[in-house]
């Protein structure tokens, strides 16, 4: 590394630390990971290191409204809108069945950059609690960002008490070159169910480093689906712990990368109790110089007998220059478990393409049909029909 690069590399970090009001010690110690750090080998953060990221200025309600107008949003349910890291009260309304609660102490994740960065610069966020036995319906959380060389670091907390349920539609969008770094702390109580459907549709020059920390109690279910469909560089990271018997975690998703963009889905699922299940189906479509990353780790404790873990990662390469890096990891200490993982990489089938074209369907449309067919079984994992249709409509194939 040249001296010039070393000096530049510290710029971004110094700016972050300077903004952290004394909370940046861990960030300072960690630094911005280079590709030599295993977890970031396939997802280079060079752009973060080279830029001085400033605190985001407030966004006018009118500007926020303009950005909202272009988004695929459901009409029903509660809405909470954040713009440049601040809650927009005028555009937010919460159902009476959801109560606001203070942020509880969360796992520091000192080895996870997205968490450390968020801890240093933590802003406002959504803090909600769904009382026991309550179905709180649909909550749409929109995080908007607009500006140049700014960053936001929202911290959300969602607690579902025993038997509660909530569907969270987590929409991320904006314009300009910025970094968003949201963190979710999620607690799914006994027999509770959180459906977390995320649409990451940030500006195509933005960076997005999201981290979700979820813990799931007995018979609870954290059912998540992420459509990674924007940003120049985006990582959606899930760290989930199954803490008691028969808990379930689903980390499913679709990533669509074109241009020279990179989308990354990284997960760590910790089976800390017996009889739990985890499911991951991630499909990535890559064109031009697009890069996709899937890192999925399943950790099974000695106590976690009868664990049922499944992981499938499939990539469709539409160009010779596109690249997928897939890294499944199983770390198993129990002796009676069922864990499987699979990864496939392929191109569009020439025979299928010819069949469609021979029926008069132009090549571009035929390709689009086959790409959508490839994504279909992953998209079908979104159980909420309204949200599934909204995601389907926002796929740029």
Contact between 376 and other proteins by CB under 8 A: the answer reads yes
Closest alpha carbon to 167 in 185, 194, 191? 194
Q: How far is the CB of 372 from other proteins (least distance, A)?
A: 7
Identify which range of 41-49, 251-259, 265-273, 347-355 contacts other proteins by CB under 8 A. Answer: 347-355
- CA torsion 266-225-152-129 (nearest 10°) is -120
Spatial contact of 13 and 27, defined as CB atoms under 8 Å apart: yes
Q: How far is C-alpha 21 from the geometric centre of its chain's CA atoms?
A: 27
Query: To 5 degrees, how large is the angle CA 104–CA 120–CA 297?
Result: 75
Q: CB under 8 A: which stretch of 96-104, 202-210, 354-362, 386-394 binds other proteins? A: 354-362
- Closest Cα partner for 124 from 147, 152, 149? 152
Find all residues with CB under 8 Å of 294, minimum gap 6, and list them. Answer: 255, 264, 265, 266, 282, 284, 313, 315, 324, 325, 326, 327, 328, 343
Near other proteins by CB under 8 A, which window of 115-123, 138-146, 196-204, 362-370?
362-370
In the complex, least distance from residue 118 CB atom to other proteins, rounded to whole angstroms: 38
Which of 90, 103, 354, 383 touches other proteins (CB under 8 A)? 354
Q: Quote the least distance from Cβ 365 to other proteins, whole Å.
A: 7
What distance in Å separates the CA atoms of residue 160 and residue 192, rounded to the nearest whole number?
6
Residue 347 contacts other proteins per CB under 8 A: no
Distance, in Å, from the CA atom of 315 to the CA atom of 338, rounded to the nearest integer, reads 24
Binding mask 291-330 for other proteins (x = CB under 8 A): ----------------------------------------
Of 133, 340, 363, 396, the residue at the interface with other proteins (CB under 8 A) is 363
- Structure tokens of 334? 């129990």
Per CB under 8 A, 373 contacts other proteins: yes
The reply on whether position 346 binds other proteins by CB under 8 A is: no
As a whole number of angstroms, the distance between CA 202 and CA 236 comes to 12
Measured CA to CA, the distance from residue 259 to residue 257 in angstroms comes to 7
385 binds other proteins (CB under 8 A): no
Residue 311 beta carbon to other proteins: minimum distance, rounded to whole angstroms: 21
In angstroms, what is the minimal distance from the CB of 360 to other proteins?
4
- Please say which residue, 304 or 375, places its beta carbon nearer to other proteins: 375
Kindly determine how many residues on this chain lie close enough to bind other proteins according to the rule CB under 8 A: 22
**Of residues 243 and 281, the one with the C-beta less far from other proteins:** 281
**Which residues would be at the binding site for other proteins (CB under 8 A)?**
350-352, 354-363, 365-366, 369-370, 372-374, 376-377
């Amino acid at each position: 590394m040249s001296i010039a690069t070393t000096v530049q590399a510290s710029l971004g970090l110094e700016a972050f630390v300077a903004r952290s009001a004394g909370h940046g010690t861990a960030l300072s110690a960690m630094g911005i990971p280079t590709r030599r750090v295993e977890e970031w080998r396939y997802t280079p953060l060079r752009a973060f290191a080279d830029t001085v990221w400033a605190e985001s200025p407030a966004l006018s309600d009118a500007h926020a409204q303009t950005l909202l107008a272009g988004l695929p949003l459901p009409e029903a349910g509660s809405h909470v809108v954040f713009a440049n890291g601040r809650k927009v009260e005028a555009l937010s309304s919460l159902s009476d069945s959801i109560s606001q609660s203070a942020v509880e102490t969360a796992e520091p994740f000192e080895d996870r950059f997205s968490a450390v960065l968020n801890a240093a610069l933590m802003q406002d966020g959504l803090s909600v609690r769904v009382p026991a036995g309550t179905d709180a319906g649909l909550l749409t959380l929109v995080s908007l960002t607009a500006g140049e060389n700014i960053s936001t670091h929202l911290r959300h907390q969602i607690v579902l008490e025993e038997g509660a349920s909530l569907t969270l539609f987590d929409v991320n969008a904006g314009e300009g070159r910025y970094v968003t770094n949201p963190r979710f702390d999620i607690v799914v109580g006994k027999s509770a169910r959180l459906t977390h459907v995320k649409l990451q549709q940030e500006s195509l020059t933005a960076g997005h480093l999201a981290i979700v920390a979820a813990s799931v109690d007995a018979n609870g279910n954290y059912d998540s689906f992420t459509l990674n469909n924007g940003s120049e560089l985006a990582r959606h990271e899930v760290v989930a712990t199954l803490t008691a018997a028969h808990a379930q975690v689903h980390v499913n998703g679709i990533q669509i990368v074109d241009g020279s963009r990179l989308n990354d889905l990284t997960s760590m699922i910790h089976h800390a109790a017996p009889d739990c299940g985890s499911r991951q189906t991630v499909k990535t479509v890559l064109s031009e110089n697009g890069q996709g990353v899937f890192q999925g780790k399943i950790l099974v404790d000695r106590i976690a007998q009868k664990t049922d873990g499944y992981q499938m990662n499939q990539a469709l390469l539409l160009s010779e220059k596109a690249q997928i890096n897939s890294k499944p990891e199983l770390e198993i200490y129990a002796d009676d478990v069922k864990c499987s993982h699979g990864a496939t990489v392929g191109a569009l089938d020439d025979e299928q393409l010819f069949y469609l074209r021979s029926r008069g369907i132009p090549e571009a449309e035929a390709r689009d049909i086959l790409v959508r067919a490839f994504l279909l079984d992953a998209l079908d994992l979104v159980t909420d029909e309204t949200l599934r249709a909204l995601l389907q409509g926002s796929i740029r194939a």
